[in-house]
C-alpha cells in the first residue's frame, strides 16, 4: 500500500521543532512509541479528522477521550458559540457552574459537592492535597502504570506518555515527594494488604483509575475495587477514584456506577467539559468542605468554571442523557472487538483485546493482561508496524501500545466494518 503524501505535515513538524520542545505540546503526540513523525490536523468533524495535506482519517483517538459525540458536534458547538457572545471568561461566579455542578451530582451520587478546575492533572493533584489535608497524613497509594496527570506526587511509575517514552519516572520530581507515594501492582490484593498493614496510619489516600487506561487498557478482577474501597474505609484512608477518562464515558454514572462503588472523592475531566480544557473533583461534603474559602486546604484557578467549558459540558451531558448513546456505543464496541479478534486469529497474530464500553486496546501478546508487568510483555515493534499500516490506510489509532482507543456515537457500523477489513489486511503483513 503506497504511503500517503504528508509533506505539509512534515514541514509543519520541522517548524514546530524549532519553537516547541520535541515539536509537540504533549509527549505522546510525538510518535516516539511507534516511530516516524506526527501528522498535523486541519479540522475535524464527526468521526473523521482532516490533516493539513487533505487526507481524511477515521479517528479512534477522539482527542484522547472527550469526543464521545464525535468532533464538532452541533449541540456542543452551538452551546459554545452562544456562551461566547456573553464573554469568554469572567473570573466571577456564573450560573453555568451551578448548573453543571447540579447535573454531575445527579448523575454521580457519590458527589455531594464539586469544585471545577482546568485539567485532569489539576483535579487529581487537588484531590491528593485535599486527602492529605483532611486526614493530616502524608502518604498515598497509586498503582503501576496508572497515570493521574503530571503532578509531582503522582508522576511515579506512571503510565501514558511517560511510559511510552520509556521514562516511568520523571526528572524534576524531588525524592522527598516521591517517598510519600507507595506504588503497587494493580489487581494484587496481597500487595495492598501488606501496604496497609505497614503504612495504614500514614496513608492519606489511595488513588486508582476507574479503569486503568494509560498503559493500554486492563480491567479489575472481580471484587478488586470493592476490596480497595473497603480497606480504605477500615483505615480512614480517602478512596479517590480517577474518572478523568471513564467519567460519563463507560456509563452516565461513570465506572463507579458500573462497579457499584461510592468513592470518597472522584476526579473528572474530558467529557465533563465537552472537549474544552476542564477538570473537576468532588465527593463527600465533609471532605470537600475542607477546601478554601471555608476550609484550610487551598486550591484556586483564574479560569476555573470557565463559561465556555461549562456550557460545552452541559451540552455534552444533555446529549448523552437524552439519547441512547451508551447502548449505541456498546453495540459498536462489541462489533469492533469481535471483528478484530476474528481478523487477528485468521492471520495467526496473537492479540489480547481489552474493552469496556467505548474504550479499547489490543495488546500484541499471547498472555492475558491484568497489570502493567503483563502489558510490558506486549510486542511493541509489531504494534508499531500495525499502527503505521492502519495510518497508511487513513485510520488513526493511538500512537502507542500503552494508550486506549475511543469510539464515539459519530462512528457508524460501516466505519467499524472498514476498520476490521483494513486491520485484517494489515494483520496479514505482520
**Residues with a known catalytic role:** 147, 242, 270
Single out the residue of 164, 168, 166 nearest to residue 142, CA to CA.
Answer: 168
The number of CA neighbours under 13 Å toward the Cβ of 250 is 23
DSSP H or E run through 353: strand 352-356
Given a contact cutoff of 8 angstroms between Cβ atoms, the answer to whether 277 and 119 are in contact is: yes
Three-state secondary structure call for residue 300:
coil
C-alpha distances in Å from residue 359, one per residue of 64, 68, 152, 171, 407? 10, 10, 27, 31, 7
Q: What is the largest CA-CA distance in the chain?
A: 62
How deeply is 53 buried, as exposed, middle or buried, from its count of CB atoms within 10 A (0-12, 13-18, 19+)? middle
CA dihedral 346, 349, 354, 359 (to 10 degrees): -80
- Cell 441512547 -> residue: 324
Prior bond to 293 cis, omega within 30? yes
C-alpha cell at 392: 497508511
Own/partner pairs, 372-379, CB within 8 angstroms, 24+ separation: 372/143, 372/144, 372/145, 372/157, 372/159, 372/185, 372/186, 372/215, 373/144, 373/185, 374/218, 375/145, 375/215, 375/216, 375/218, 375/401, 375/402, 378/216, 378/352
DSSP string, 407-420: --TT--HHHHHHHH
DSSP H or E run through 309: helix 307-322
The b-or-e profile of 131-167 (16+ CB within 10 A means b, else e) is bbbbbebebbbbbbbbbbbbbbbbbbbbbbbbbbbee
Question: Which letter does DSSP use for residue 126 in this model?
Answer: H
Amino acid at each position: 500500500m503506497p504511503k500517503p503524501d504528508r509533506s505539509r505535515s512534515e514541514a509543519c513538524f520541522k517548524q514546530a521543532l524549532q519553537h516547541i520542545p520535541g515539536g509537540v505540546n504533549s509527549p505522546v503526540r510525538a510518535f516516539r512509541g511507534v516511530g516516524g513523525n506526527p501528522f498535523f490536523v486541519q479540522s475535524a468533524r464527526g468521526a473523521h479528522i482532516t490533516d493539513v495535506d487533505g487526507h481524511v482519517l477515521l479517528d479512534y483517538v477522539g482527542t484522547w477521550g472527550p469526543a464521545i459525540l464525535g468532533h464538532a458536534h452541533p449541540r456542543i458547538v452551538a452551546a459554545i458559540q452562544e456562551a461566547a457572545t456573553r464573554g469568554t471568561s469572567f473570573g466571577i461566579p456564573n450560573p453555568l457552574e451551578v448548573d453543571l455542578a447540579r447535573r454531575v451530582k445527579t448523575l454521580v451520587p457519590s458527589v455531594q459537592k464539586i469544585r471545577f478546575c482546568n485539567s485532569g492533572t489539576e483535579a487529581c493533584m487537588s484531590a491528593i492535597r485535599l486527602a492529605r489535608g483532611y486526614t493530616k497524613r502524608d502518604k498515598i497509594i497509586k498503582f503501576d502504570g496508572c497515570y493521574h496527570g503530571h503532578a509531582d506526587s503522582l508522576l511515579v511509575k506512571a503510565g501514558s506518555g511517560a511510559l511510552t517514552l520509556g521514562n516511568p519516572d520523571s526528572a524534576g520530581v524531588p525524592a522527598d515527594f516521591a517517598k510519600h507515594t507507595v506504588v503497587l501492582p494493580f489487581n494484587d490484593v496481597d500487595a495492598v494488604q501488606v501496604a496497609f498493614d505497614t503504612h495504614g496510619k500514614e496513608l492519606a489516600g489511595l488513588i486508582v483509575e476507574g479503569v486503568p487506561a494509560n498503559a493500554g487498557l486492563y480491567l479489575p478482577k472481580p471484587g478488586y475495587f470493592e476490596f480497595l474501597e473497603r480497606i480504605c474505609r477500615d483505615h480512614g484512608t480517602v478512596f479517590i477514584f480517577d474518572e478523568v477518562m471513564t467519567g460519563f464515558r463507560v456509563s452516565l454514572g461513570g465506572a463507579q456506577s458500573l462497579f457499584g462503588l461510592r468513592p470518597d472523592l472522584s476526579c473528572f475531566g474530558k467529557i465533563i467539559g465537552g472537549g474544552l480544557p476542564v477538570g473537576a473533583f468532588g465527593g463527600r461534603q465533609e471532605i470537600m468542605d475542607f477546601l478554601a474559602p471555608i476550609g484550610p486546604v487551598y486550591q484556586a484557578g483564574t479560569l476555573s468554571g470557565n463559561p465556555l467549558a461549562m456550557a460545552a459540558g452541559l451540552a455534552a451531558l444533555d446529549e448523552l442523557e437524552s439519547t441512547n448513546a451508551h447502548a449505541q456505543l456498546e453495540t459498536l464496541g462489541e462489533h469492533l472487538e469481535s471483528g478484530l479478534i476474528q481478523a487477528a486469529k485468521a492471520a495467526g497474530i496473537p492479540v489480547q483485546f481489552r474493552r469496556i464500553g467505548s474504550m479499547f486496546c489490543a495488546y500484541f501478546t499471547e498472555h492475558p493482561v491484568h497489570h502493567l508487568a503483563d502489558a510490558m510483555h506486549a510486542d511493541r515493534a509489531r504494534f508499531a508496524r500495525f499502527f503505521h499500516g492502519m495510518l497508511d490506510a487513513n485510520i488513526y489509532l493511538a500512537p502507542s501500545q500503552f494508550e486506549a482507543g475511543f469510539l464515539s456515537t459519530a462512528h457508524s457500523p460501516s466505519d467499524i466494518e472498514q476498520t476490521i477489513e483494513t486491520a485484517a489486511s494489515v494483520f496479514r503483513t505482520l
